[in-house]
Amino acid sequence: MSPGLYGVLAEFRTVEELLAAARSARADGYTVEAYSPFPVEGLGEAVGFVGNRMPLIIFVGGLAGGAGGYFMQWYSAVVSYPVNIGGRPLDSWPAFLPATVALTILGAAVAAVIGMLVANGLPRLHHPLFEIHEFDLATRNRFFACLRSRRGGLDLESARALLARCGAMKMWEVPA
Amino acid sequence: MVVGTRPPVSRDIGVLAAGWRYASISDKIADLVLTRRAGWRWWLLFLTTLGGTLVFFSASAYLFAVGVGIWGVNIPVAWGFAIGNFVWWIGIGHAGTFISAVLYLLRQRWRTSINRFAESMTLFAAGIAGLFPILHLGRPWFFYWLMPYPNVMELWPQWRSPLVWDFFAIATYLTVSLLFWYVGLLPDLATLRDRATTRFKRYAYGLVALGWRGEARHWARYEHAYLLLAGLATPLVVLVHSVVSLDFAVGNTPGYHSTIFPPYFVAGALFSGFAMVLTLAIPLRRVFGLQDFITARHLDDAAKVVLVTSWIVLYSYAAEIFTGFYSADEFDVSITIERWSGAYAPVYWSMLACNVALPQLLWWRRVRRSVPALFVISLLVNVGMWMERFLIVVSSLHRDFMPSAWGMFYPTFWDWVFLFGSIAFFVWLFLVFLRLLPAISIAEMRLLVDESATEGGR
Amino acid sequence: MLGAPGRMSDYDAVRSALEGAGTAREPAADAWQQWLRAGRLVGSEAPALRLPAPSRPKPPGLGDERDGPLTAIFAPDPAVGDGAFANNAWLQEWPRPLTKLTWDNAALLAPGTARALGIENGDVVELSVAGRTLRAPVWLQPGQAEQTVGLPLGYGRWAAGRVGDGVGFNAFLLKPPARSVVTTTLHATGATHAFACTQLVDSMAGRPLTRRVTPDARGMSALPETEPPARDSLYPSYAYPDYAWAMSIDLDACIGCGACTVACQAENNIPTVGREEVAKGREMHWIRVDRYRTEAGRTAFLPVPCMHCENAPCEVVCPVGATVHDSEGLNVQVYNRCIGTRYCSNNCPYKVRRFNFLQYANTDEESLKAGRNPEVTVRRRGVMEKCNYCLQRIRRAGIAAEKEGRRIADGEVVTACEAVCPTRAIVFGDLVDRESRVSRAKASPLDYALLGELNTRPRTTYLARVDNPDPALDSDGG
**Average pLDDT by stretches of 10, chain C with 478 residues:** 65 80 62 81 79 69 56 92 92 94 93 90 91 92 89 92 91 88 89 92 87 73 60 80 93 93 94 93 94 86 94 93 92 93 93 94 87 92 94 94 93 94 94 92 89 89 85 54
Q: Which helix (H) or strand (E) holds C196?
A: strand C196-197
Q: Å from B164 to nearest chain C CA?
A: 5
Q: Is C208 on the interface with B (CB under 8 A)?
A: no
B228 φ/ψ angles, rounded to the nearest 5 degrees: -70, -35
* Contact call for residues C251 and C463 (beta carbons, < 8 A): yes
* Contact call for residues A13 and A142 (beta carbons, < 8 A): yes
- Residue in A13, A44, A58 nearest the CB of B219: A44
User: What are the pLDDT tens digits along chain B (458 aa)?
Assistant: 334 567 777 777 777 777 787 888 888 888 888 877 878 888 898 999 999 999 999 999 999 999 999 999 999 999 999 999 999 999 888 888 888 888 888 877 788 888 888 889 999 999 999 999 999 999 999 999 998 988 888 889 999 999 999 999 999 999 999 998 999 899 989 888 888 888 888 888 888 988 888 888 888 888 888 888 888 888 898 899 899 999 999 988 888 888 888 988 888 888 988 898 889 888 888 888 788 888 888 888 889 989 999 999 999 899 888 988 888 888 888 888 888 988 899 999 999 999 899 999 989 988 888 888 999 999 999 999 999 999 999 988 998 899 999 999 999 999 999 999 999 999 999 989 988 888 888 888 888 888 877 765 43
DSSP A175: E
- CA dihedral defined by B304, B310, B315, B319, rounded to 10 degrees? 150
Alpha-carbon distance C170 to C86, whole Å?
12
Q: Is B14 on the interface with C (CB under 8 A)?
A: no
- Residue in B2, B216, B236 nearest the CB of A34: B216
Burial C174-196 (b: 16+ CB within 10 A, else e): bbeeeeebbebebeeeeeebebb
Alpha-carbon distance B60 to C23, whole Å?
87
| Cα dihedral C162, C164, C169, C173 sign | negative
Q: Is C449 helix (H, G, I), strand (E, B) or coil?
A: coil
Other Cβ atoms less than 10 A from the Cβ of B333: the count is: 16
Q: Is A91 helix (H, G, I), strand (E, B) or coil?
A: coil
Q: Determine how β-strand C196-197 pairs with β-strand C101-102.
A: antiparallel
Q: Is B155 on the interface with C (CB under 8 A)?
A: yes
Nearest to B165 by CA among A93, A101, A174: A101
- Cβ-in-10-Å burial (0-12, 13-18, 19+) of C418 comes to buried
- Residue in B154, B219, B246 nearest the CB of A36: B219
Contact assignment for A122 to B211 by CB distance below 8 Å: yes
Looking at residue A97, its pLDDT comes to 93
Nearest to C399 by CA among C386, C412, C414, C388: C412
**Distance from chain centroid for Cα C429:** 20
* Contact call for residues C457 and A84 (beta carbons, < 8 A): no
Contact assignment for A101 to B239 by CB distance below 8 Å: yes
Nearest to B276 by CA among B173, B174, B124: B124
Q: Which residues on chain A are in Cβ contact (under 8 Å) with B246?
A: 98
Alpha-carbon distance C400 to B273, whole Å?
63
- Residue in C235, C309, C314 nearest the CB of A89: C235
Query: How many alpha carbons fall within 13 Å on the CB side of residue A3?
Result: 0
Residue partners of C110: CB distance under 8 A and separation at least 6 = C140, C141, C142, C143, C144, C145, C146, C147, C148
Q: Which residues on chain C are in Cβ contact (under 8 Å) with A90?
A: none
Bridge partners, C152 (sequence order): C75
Contact assignment for B67 to C357 by CB distance below 8 Å: yes
Alpha-carbon distance C4 to B18, whole Å?
126
Looking at residue C64, its pLDDT comes to 46
Contact assignment for A85 to C457 by CB distance below 8 Å: no
Q: Is B397 helix (H, G, I), strand (E, B) or coil?
A: helix
Contact assignment for B21 to A141 by CB distance below 8 Å: yes
Residue partners of C284: CB distance under 8 A and separation at least 6 = C265, C270, C271, C272, C273, C354, C356, C360, C385
- Cβ-in-10-Å burial (0-12, 13-18, 19+) of B251 comes to buried
* Alpha-helical runs (H) found in A120-171: 156-165
| Cα dihedral A127, A133, A134, A140 sign | positive
Q: Which helix (H) or strand (E) holds C447?
A: strand C447-448
Which ipTM did the prediction report? 0.89
Alpha-carbon distance C477 to C300, whole Å?
15
Q: Å from C404 to nearest chain A CA?
A: 29
Q: Is B78 on the interface with C (CB under 8 A)?
A: yes
Other Cβ atoms less than 10 A from the Cβ of C275: the count is: 17
Across the A:B interface, residue pairs with CB atoms under 8 Å apart total 219
How many angstroms separate the most distant Cα atoms in chain A? 82
Q: Is B7 on the interface with A (CB under 8 A)?
A: yes
Contact assignment for B407 to C281 by CB distance below 8 Å: yes
List the CATH code of the domain at B44-437.
1.20.1630.10
Nearest to B302 by CA among B164, B131, B3, B96: B96
Write out residues 28-87 of A within 8 Å (CB-CB) of C. 83-87
Q: Which residues on chain B are in Cβ contact (under 8 Å) with A92?
A: 159-160
Contact assignment for B5 to A47 by CB distance below 8 Å: no
Q: Å from C336 to nearest chain A CA?
A: 17
Looking at residue C1, its pLDDT comes to 46
DSSP B393: I
Q: Which residues on chain B are in Cβ contact (under 8 Å) with C290?
A: 402, 404
Contact assignment for A106 to B172 by CB distance below 8 Å: yes
Alpha-carbon distance B249 to B287, whole Å?
43
B2, B149, B151, B180: which to substitute to probe chain A, counting the most A Cβ within 10 Å? B2
Alpha-carbon distance B52 to C85, whole Å?
49
Alpha-carbon distance C151 to C181, whole Å?
10
* Contact call for residues C245 and C330 (beta carbons, < 8 A): yes
Q: Which residues on chain B are in Cβ contact (under 8 Å) with A115?
A: 225
A: neighbours with 3+ CB pairs under 8 Å? B, C
Q: Å from B182 to nearest chain A CA?
A: 9
- Name the residue ranges covered by the structural domains of chain B: 44-437
Alpha-carbon distance B165 to A95, whole Å?
9
Q: Which residue of B has its CA nearest to A19?
A: B2
Alpha-carbon distance B99 to B108, whole Å?
9
Q: How many residues are listed for chain A in this entry? A: 176
Alpha-carbon distance C416 to C413, whole Å?
10
Q: Å from C325 to nearest chain A CA?
A: 5
Q: Which residues on chain A are in Cβ contact (under 8 Å) with B234?
A: none
Q: Is A117 on the interface with C (CB under 8 A)?
A: no
Write out residues 425-444 of B within 8 Å (CB-CB) of C. none
Alpha-carbon distance B46 to B39, whole Å?
11
* Contact call for residues C74 and C80 (beta carbons, < 8 A): no
**Distance from chain centroid for Cα C222:** 22
Q: Which residues on chain C are in Cβ contact (under 8 Å) with B73?
A: 342, 357
- Cβ-in-10-Å burial (0-12, 13-18, 19+) of B328 comes to exposed
Contact assignment for B137 to C341 by CB distance below 8 Å: yes
C234, C308, C311, C315: which to substitute to probe chain A, counting the most A Cβ within 10 Å? C315
- Residue in B26, B154, B162 nearest the CB of A81: B154
Contact assignment for B401 to C351 by CB distance below 8 Å: yes
DSSP C377: P
- In chain A, pLDDT over 70 holds for what percent of residues? 98
**Distance from chain centroid for Cα C13:** 48
Contact assignment for C316 to A86 by CB distance below 8 Å: yes
Write out residues 162-221 of B within 8 Å (CB-CB) of C. 162-164, 167
Q: Which helix (H) or strand (E) holds C427?
A: strand C426-430
Q: Å from B259 to nearest chain A CA?
A: 16
Q: Is B223 on the interface with C (CB under 8 A)?
A: no
Bridge partners, C463 (sequence order): C250, C447
